[in-house]
Structure 1
């Protein structure tokens, strides 16, 4: 069993890119993670990872060993599941990763029904700012926003999201209503930041088939769409946010949809498996449940008409 733990430590370090994050994922102390890796390398008489203060890199021997380690862990997991599922019902832990705002909005409300259908399954839901990264990083299922890279992993498109440019009425009264992308350069803007774009995402606008890209100078960056919505409602500035998150405040009038002549490109919302090949029954059950119940077009309300003039806001 100790050797299995050592394999889990090694593959998790590779998946998350850091020994400290691996310790958090595995609920071990950093010292234990270091010890298990050292024992594995000693038993193999091989160095698997080059470690520095800034990064970890697989050695050539580590790359060779990684695929075998994953195969062993997959075989053990399948064997354990087969024993637990002798009564015909899937059991086990399923790790799901989703953007924080969408995970709270879409996935959490479905957990009770999923648990009722599969009482033997434990759901481990991670909510963070990795919503545009398609690396599995040890997760079984990923909810993502953005273009999916070529992959053999099973992926289901839930729908198409739209980015709406919004601001609070009182902000527009104070600062005026932007008419074109260039006007945004003189406004206070709230940008979405992530592990991929820590300085804030660029904004894209489409008019009559032509695209315009802009990264306005931000006065605030946030890594959560729900927090961006709250900041915009509070009057902090103009933000570009997914329609499902701002449809209700736009309909209520606490936010105003701006620049209706300049639309944004649709972004796919997808559910993906985090592995190739044979999938444990518990993972397949939860994936199929979510793929059936998560219907983006049915969840996103159409926004109310924009108010184009300062006088009307």
Structure 2
């Protein structure tokens, strides 16, 4: 094998499943990328890719070789990072994807500060509630809530969500404060409508090691977390919402946590990224900024919960 550049070309094609996309990311022509992979196949004596007019896929040999390529390239990047870490600062373009609610409340404020600290860093952030194909779409990293199903990615735990029942002081003064989840049957509850199923998301509770759920609804149910918080602040009912969405309303005294003896552990939040990005300075800076942001949310929430 003449040099590591051929491995880089192959890895980018394997990740993006496209000669054209890989060429764009590498600053090469599609023809140059195709020829480089063909030469590699000839040198190794195996076919690495299945080619069609619509999609490029890995053969069994190609998948095995790609796994080793990722390890090799990650080791090379780590060695380069170790040599330059003391002088280098994050720079270049960082492409990230994240859920809307978490992005607006936690990640984007952290990214603003990150961009201010590192003028050479350009951040492109997509806020959407879809699960992106990180490698195929060329993202450096993404934030995912709940189980990560893509085994190709490194998944680092960022935090765990907590969903707490909340109501405005005015609502509680008028209707009383429920003491158990069963008391919610006598109250107005503002439910989250799933945009996928059209049903209401059940409220999860736990006490004495036992977990259980309860389905609730009221005369206003919305598929937008911020709108539910606004309705609860207006005194329209009780809402169950995640800590990062509610923290400002709680610390500001607009909403009060209730049923705090029944708070159930929520899903984990992960930062996910391809193994080839593990040594990236900009990725590490991104993760550090998120760690600081979620720590601030948890501390503020704990003071009021």
Smaller-chain TM-score bracket = 0.5 to 0.7
The offset of 1:163, in angstroms, is 1.0
**Distance in 2 separating the partners of 1:111 and 1:247:** 19
2:223 counterpart of 1:262 = no
How has the CA–CA distance of structure 1 residues 147 and 69 changed in structure 2, closer, same or farther, with 3 Å as cutoff?
closer
SS at match of 1:301: helix
2:25 counterpart of 1:77 = yes
User: Is the CA contact (8 Å cut-off) linking 1:129 and 1:224 kept in structure 2?
Assistant: no
Segments of structure 2 that go 5 or more residues without pairing to the other structure are 1-13, 29-87
User: Is the CA contact (8 Å cut-off) linking 1:180 and 1:259 kept in structure 2?
Assistant: yes
2:102 counterpart of 1:99 = no
Among candidates 295, 298, 301, match of residue 300 of structure 1 = 298
TM-score (ref. length: structure 1): 0.60
Question: Residues 183-202 of structure 1 correspond to what in structure 2 (within 5 A)?
Answer: 183-202=183-202
- Quick check: which has more Rg, 1 or 2? 2
User: Is the CA contact (8 Å cut-off) linking 1:91 and 1:282 kept in structure 2?
Assistant: no
User: Is the CA contact (8 Å cut-off) linking 1:160 and 1:269 kept in structure 2?
Assistant: yes
The offset of 1:138, in angstroms, is 6.5
User: Is the CA contact (8 Å cut-off) linking 2:91 and 2:282 kept in structure 1?
Assistant: no
Question: Residues 156-235 of structure 1 correspond to what in structure 2 (within 5 A)?
Answer: 156-235=156-235
SS at match of 2:299: coil
Q: Is 298-307 or 248-257 further displaced after alignment?
A: 298-307
Aligned residues between the structures: 232
Segments of structure 1 that go 5 or more residues without pairing to the other structure are 1-65, 81-87, 308-313
| Coordinate RMSD, CA, aligned | 3.8
User: Is the CA contact (8 Å cut-off) linking 2:16 and 2:138 kept in structure 1?
Assistant: no
**Distance in 2 separating the partners of 1:124 and 1:202:** 34
The offset of 1:166, in angstroms, is 0.3
How has the CA–CA distance of structure 1 residues 134 and 266 changed in structure 2, closer, same or farther, with 3 Å as cutoff?
farther
The offset of 1:250, in angstroms, is 2.5
**Distance in 1 separating the partners of 2:93 and 2:259:** 46
TM-score (ref. length: structure 2): 0.62
The residue number in structure 2 matching 1:15 is none
SS at match of 1:106: helix
SS at match of 1:126: strand
User: Is the CA contact (8 Å cut-off) linking 1:232 and 1:239 kept in structure 2?
Assistant: yes
How has the CA–CA distance of structure 1 residues 122 and 291 changed in structure 2, closer, same or farther, with 3 Å as cutoff?
same
